[in-house]
Amino acid sequence: MTSFSTTPKANSQDNTEELRTSRTCRNSYCRLGVLPLEYFSNNSVFVCCRYVMERRWFEQWKEFVENGDQNSSSFPGQIDNSELFEDLDSYHLKERLVENEDFVLVPAEAWHKLLAWYGIVDGQPPLERKVVDLPSTLKVEVYPVEIFLCLHSNMENVITAQFSRADTIREFGFSVPPGSECRLWMKSSDSSCERLRNVHMSVLDACLSSGMTVIMETRNADGTWPSSRPQIMNSVEDQDSYRGQPGVCGLTNLGNTCFMNSALQCLSNTPPLTEYFLRSSYLEELNFTNPLGMKGEIAEAYADVIKQMWSGRHYSVVPRVFKTKVGHFASQFLGYQQHDSQELLSFLLDGLHEDLNRVKNKEYIELRDAEGRPDQEVAEEAWRNHRRRNDSVIVDTFHGLFKSTLVCPECHKVSVTFDPFCYLSVPLPVSKERVMEVFFVSLDPYAKPVQHRVVVPKAGKVSDLCSALSEMTNVPPSQMVVADVFNHRFYKIYNADESLSCILDRDDIFVYELSVQKEEQEEHVLLALYLRERSHYRDYGSGSSSYGTSLFGHPLLLSVPRSSCSHEELYNLFLQRLARYVRPPDPSEELEEEEEEEDEDEEELYKTQTNGISDGILLSLIMEYKQEEACSPSPPANEQPAKRRACRKRRKTLFTIQAVNSNGTTERGSFNTNCSTFLSAAQPYVAIDWDPEMKKRFYNENEAEKYMKHSSMEVPQQQTTVQLQECIELFTTVETLEEENPWYCPVCKKHQLATKKLDLWSLPEVLIIHLKRFSYTKFTREKLDSIVEFPLRYAHSRLSFLPQEEPPSRYDLIAVSNHYGGLRDGHYTSYARNKDNGQWYYFDDSKVTYASEDQIVTNAAYVLFYHRQDKLRKPTLPSPITSPASSTEPASDITSCNDDDAELGATSYLTMETD
């Protein structure tokens, strides 16, 4: 283990210049996670790399460099990435870590500097990651691809290996016998296999993802291949003989590609678009010269996927080529990170339109304002102009017209324009309140923590949380301190004026009651208290502690008078605060320990145990020993030896007190000797260290973990429900333009914050409605889980937002893209109605099950697809089932809907309307 002795110290003459340099470079190092890659002299994939660091440690280091010194509580201690690992045995990274939330990326130069200064926790590996040169961008590989390698002749001997996406397949390291002919197969999680024909392809281009298996087979002496026998490759042969319902086909998840699969299933079940590709009409309309297009490659790749899905010959299709094409033309979809199905859908519709645009040479068209002309005339002119530059199957199927009305607040000039749209992104009504769950820790040491559920303003402050909790506890808000507790330590202690938006729903929030400060009393100190358990051995080689320690239990916040911060007074105070789960020793219990050596052997002992190396922590322990001895009365000279031997026994305390940094990992010295220094810090932290035997005898872990639930926790949280019509009306509400996007008034001759109103003028054959569940404001980031009651059939009364003189259109729902989960992670699925038999199906990557109409309306609905009824054709095949429960002989590629699938749905919230 690298000790802290290599850290630059402010009081060290040799390291003063180095520390000054680190402070000078502070402005650069504090932006390590966002430095441009051009910062390096060599951007080669194999030379340029970065290191992954836990964000909490990195933030503490920045605070230390900005304001701290060697004795400050912000001293970060050794580099510690423990929170990034699933376990500390394999050091395997947790899934779905988010940059700048969980970790930061630092250049190699900075990493080696920090490593030399602070060291790294013993046993933890440096997390070095390559910077990969991807098409049109450079990205850091936080998660290398983990692939299983095996031989066809020995399938049980599987080797797990990690590769960069820039590595080629030939670098997998298979040993090929001389003169042998070999070939490679890749096997996905759904057991489908594909041939890897080009060993010079990169892992990225081959779309290999973690969890896949690469199998090498060698040709037999008789000239045959082992895979020709019915073994592991039979999944390919089985699909050749499979016959099922066209369109009822899963899509293999290539690695976090459920967002893509969900969007593809919805488009696949859009009849006019699918029939256009199945008839191969696209071949005559491919536009290879459109500078805004993708040379027809996106259209061709999409056509291949659709034809496979509707061939009726596949359980599941592997959209590998399509994924590669999408990543090539849209770098944001490169790699295997989770993305948004609506964003993929938007890119795909635009890409298909440009690849299939029948207009080869787009003419310049000057747009005109309405200038008082009738809306009908202006709308027809706008649509003609749009079609003169944009004419494709996408426009035919998905494009409609907005009516946009702008009014100048100064001269009241009215500007009316008509703009095309491909889909509607409608907002959900956002509540101005927020429900938070917090634990209240009373000042009464015998009271268990109480979990409360409080309602606070969404854009409120921490003081609002205290006020809401005060009404339930009758404790004044001024006597409360709010803290985020994570992994037995304080992740953050909040100020009363901080915004509640910085507190996430997943955070463990504790609110501590503090003692009353009377006017006549002197200033109080807010003391943060950690509990630590010592190992049985002393670690004299470590600079972090004289003992190996680990945090446990819940930390505490205490308000202590500055005059009452002596070692003895704090010891008694801590015993009192822990009285509920710490048993004081009985008078009959002997708690004595022997001193290690006599006074004259002190120096020799110190040298022996430290190899003569100076150590501030050991020195403080010796000073403490001297002070204790000095407090004892000196015996007469003739009784000195006997008395000295008697003094070698002393009363043993339950725990010792140490001043520590804010992480509780690094000691700042003995609290006895440095009391005034540590109490002068903005936020002092102390730890009480327990010997394992003492903790076992006097600390009740079961009692310490107990808590109570307030009656507010028993009140069920009501699920917010809104109507789709409300979302559309909110979308068409008058709004004032933001300062960042003003409108230039042609009359006032200046930019104005005009009012704007959108109306739906004409609707397309297929109407796509995107529910904006992900809310991003100045104060909050959240996913809205409200249930949107959307009808499966739009009747006259359901669609009243068109101009009065136009008859309302009537639509049927044909597909839904679902999103389950939160902001940081989640899973996409889809419901879709097969155009041939009218049956609803539930698509979950490669798995397909029957679905019923009462399952479709859920709080996971994200993108809705409606088909205009006058364009619908009746199913050509009878529905195979009437309900999931009645399915007795389902098709071989799907199973009837089970209880798990039913939980994904919800009871329908509307009465079905028949035509």
**From 533-547, 552-566, 792-806, 878-892, the region with the lowest mean pLDDT:** 878-892
Specify the pLDDT at position 94: 85
Q: State the average pLDDT over residues 379-393.
A: 93
Confidence grade of residue 243 (pLDDT, cut at 50, 70, 90): confident
Confidence grade of residue 38 (pLDDT, cut at 50, 70, 90): very low
Q: How far apart are CA 330 and CA 344, in angstroms?
A: 9
Query: Residue 322 belongs to a domain with what CATH number?
Result: 3.90.70.10
Q: How far apart are CA 208 and CA 318, in angstroms?
A: 12
Q: Rounded to whole angstroms, what are the CA distances from 884 to 722, 792, 814, 888, 914?
A: 28, 18, 18, 9, 22
Specify the pLDDT at position 222: 67
> Is 466 assigned a catalytic role?
no
Q: Is residue 111 part of a domain?
A: yes
Domain end residue (candidates: 359, 382, 400): 400
> Model confidence over 244-281: pLDDT tens digits?
899 999 999 988 899 999 999 999 999 999 999 999 99
**From 103-117, 361-375, 744-758, the region with the lowest mean pLDDT:** 361-375
**Same domain? 179 vs 276:** no
Q: Is residue 285 part of a domain?
A: yes
Neighbour-count burial of 650, counting CB atoms closer than 10 A to its CB (0-12 exposed, 13-18 middle, 19+ buried): middle
Q: What are phi and psi of 699, to 5 degrees?
A: -110, 120
Domain end residue (candidates: 385, 400, 415): 400
Q: Is the pLDDT of residue 747 over 80?
A: yes
**Same domain? 440 vs 491:** yes
Q: How far apart are CA 861 and CA 784, in angstroms?
A: 11
* Percent of the chain topping pLDDT 90: 31
**Same domain? 389 vs 291:** yes
Specify the pLDDT at position 538: 53
Query: Residue 81 belongs to a domain with what CATH number?
Result: 3.30.2230.10
Specify the pLDDT at position 810: 86
**Same domain? 69 vs 179:** no
> Is 266 assigned a catalytic role?
no
Residue 571 makes CB contacts below 8 A (sequence gap 6+) with 653, 657
**Same domain? 118 vs 166:** no
**From 217-221, 307-311, 692-696, 753-757, the region with the lowest mean pLDDT:** 217-221
Residues in the chain: 915
How many Å separate Cα 367 from the centre of its chain? 44
Residue listed under structure tokens 């708690």: 591
Query: Residue 176 belongs to a domain with what CATH number?
Result: 3.10.20.90
Confidence grade of residue 833 (pLDDT, cut at 50, 70, 90): very high
* DSSP tag of 490: E
Neighbour-count burial of 79, counting CB atoms closer than 10 A to its CB (0-12 exposed, 13-18 middle, 19+ buried): buried
**Same domain? 761 vs 845:** yes
Specify the pLDDT at position 605: 42
Q: How far apart are CA 251 and CA 845, in angstroms?
A: 5
Q: State the average pLDDT over residues 841-861.
A: 93
Q: State the average pLDDT over residues 867-885.
A: 67
Question: Is the distance from CB of 840 to CB of 848 less than 8 angstroms?
Answer: no
Query: Encoding tokens for residue 128?
Result: 């070095």
Q: Rounded to whole angstroms, what are the CA distances from 550 to 534, 574, 687, 692?
A: 7, 19, 11, 11
Q: Is residue 743 part of a domain?
A: yes
> Model confidence over 339-377: pLDDT tens digits?
899 999 999 999 999 999 999 888 888 878 778 888 888
Query: Encoding tokens for residue 81?
Result: 């990435």
In the beta sheet, which residues pair with residue 836?
Answer: none
Query: Encoding tokens for residue 258?
Result: 């459920």
Edge-to-edge order in the sheet of strand 137-140? 103-107, 49-54, 128-134, 137-140
Q: State the average pLDDT over residues 191-203.
A: 78
Specify the pLDDT at position 278: 93
Q: Is residue 570 part of a domain?
A: yes
Q: What are phi and psi of 709, to 5 degrees?
A: -110, 130
Q: Among candidates 534, 654, 98, which has minimal Cα distance to 338?
A: 98
**Same domain? 473 vs 557:** yes
Q: How far apart are CA 324 and CA 204, in angstroms?
A: 8
Q: How far apart are CA 379 and CA 402, in angstroms?
A: 9
Q: Among candidates 120, 91, 95, 105, which has minimal Cα distance to 40?
A: 105
Q: State the average pLDDT over residues 511-528.
A: 76
Q: Is residue 877 part of a domain?
A: no
Question: Is the distance from CB of 480 to CB of 493 less than 8 angstroms?
Answer: no
**Same domain? 708 vs 727:** no
**From 229-233, 444-448, 897-901, the region with the lowest mean pLDDT:** 897-901
Q: Is the pLDDT of residue 807 over 50?
A: yes
**Same domain? 704 vs 736:** no
Specify the pLDDT at position 872: 75
Q: Is residue 374 part of a domain?
A: yes
Specify the pLDDT at position 613: 37
Specify the pLDDT at position 590: 57
Q: State the average pLDDT over residues 144-172.
A: 85
Q: How far apart are CA 890 and CA 210, in angstroms?
A: 33
Question: Is the distance from CB of 363 to CB of 335 less than 8 angstroms?
Answer: no
**Same domain? 560 vs 708:** yes
Q: Is residue 78 part of a domain?
A: yes
For the whole model, what pTM was predicted? 0.62
Specify the pLDDT at position 302: 94
- Among the listed residues 193, 258, 266, 408, the single catalytic one is 258
Q: Is 277 left (phi over 0), alpha (psi -120 to 50) or beta?
A: alpha
In the beta sheet, which residues pair with residue 415?
Answer: 406
Specify the pLDDT at position 840: 95
> Model confidence over 764-801: pLDDT tens digits?
999 999 999 887 665 456 788 889 999 888 643 334 34
Helix 271-278 / helix 258-268 crossing angle, nearest 10 deg: 90
Confidence grade of residue 15 (pLDDT, cut at 50, 70, 90): very low
Q: Is residue 410 part of a domain?
A: no
DSSP H stretches of helix in 330-433: 341-355, 375-389, 393-398
Structural domain that includes position 203: 145-218
Q: How far apart are CA 593 and CA 555, in angstroms?
A: 28
In the beta sheet, which residues pair with residue 303?
Answer: none
The identity of residue 626, as a single letter, is K
Q: How far apart are CA 537 and CA 546, in angstroms?
A: 9
In the beta sheet, which residues pair with residue 592?
Answer: 651
**Same domain? 90 vs 119:** yes
Residue listed under structure tokens 């290539």: 254
Query: Encoding tokens for residue 598?
Result: 């006599």
Q: Rounded to whole angstroms, what are the CA distances from 263 to 182, 335, 348, 767, 781?
A: 38, 18, 9, 15, 24
Q: What are phi and psi of 342, to 5 degrees?
A: -70, -35
Q: State the average pLDDT over residues 133-142.
A: 69
User: What's the whole-number average pLDDT of the chain?
Assistant: 77
Q: How far apart are CA 529 and CA 462, in angstroms?
A: 22
Q: How far apart are CA 669 and CA 675, in angstroms?
A: 9
**From 162-166, 303-307, 412-416, 483-487, the region with the lowest mean pLDDT:** 162-166
Question: Is the distance from CB of 461 to CB of 496 less than 8 angstroms?
Answer: yes
Query: Encoding tokens for residue 453?
Result: 């559920």
Confidence grade of residue 135 (pLDDT, cut at 50, 70, 90): low
- Among the listed residues 524, 554, 567, 827, the single catalytic one is 827
Domain end residue (candidates: 135, 161, 178): 135
Q: Which one is predicted more confidently, 806 or 138? A: 138
Specify the pLDDT at position 676: 56
Q: Among candidates 853, 430, 489, which has minimal Cα distance to 666?
A: 489
> Model confidence over 293-335: pLDDT tens digits?
998 989 999 998 999 999 888 888 989 889 988 988 888 888 7
Specify the pLDDT at position 71: 59
The structural domain count of the chain equals 5
- What do you get for the CA distance between the two ends of the chain, in Å? 76
Residue 53 makes CB contacts below 8 A (sequence gap 6+) with 79, 81, 103, 104, 105, 106, 111, 114, 127
**Same domain? 86 vs 212:** no
The identity of residue 142, as a single letter, is V
> Model confidence over 723-745: pLDDT tens digits?
898 898 888 888 888 888 898 99
Specify the pLDDT at position 636: 52
Q: How far apart are CA 59 and CA 628, in angstroms?
A: 40
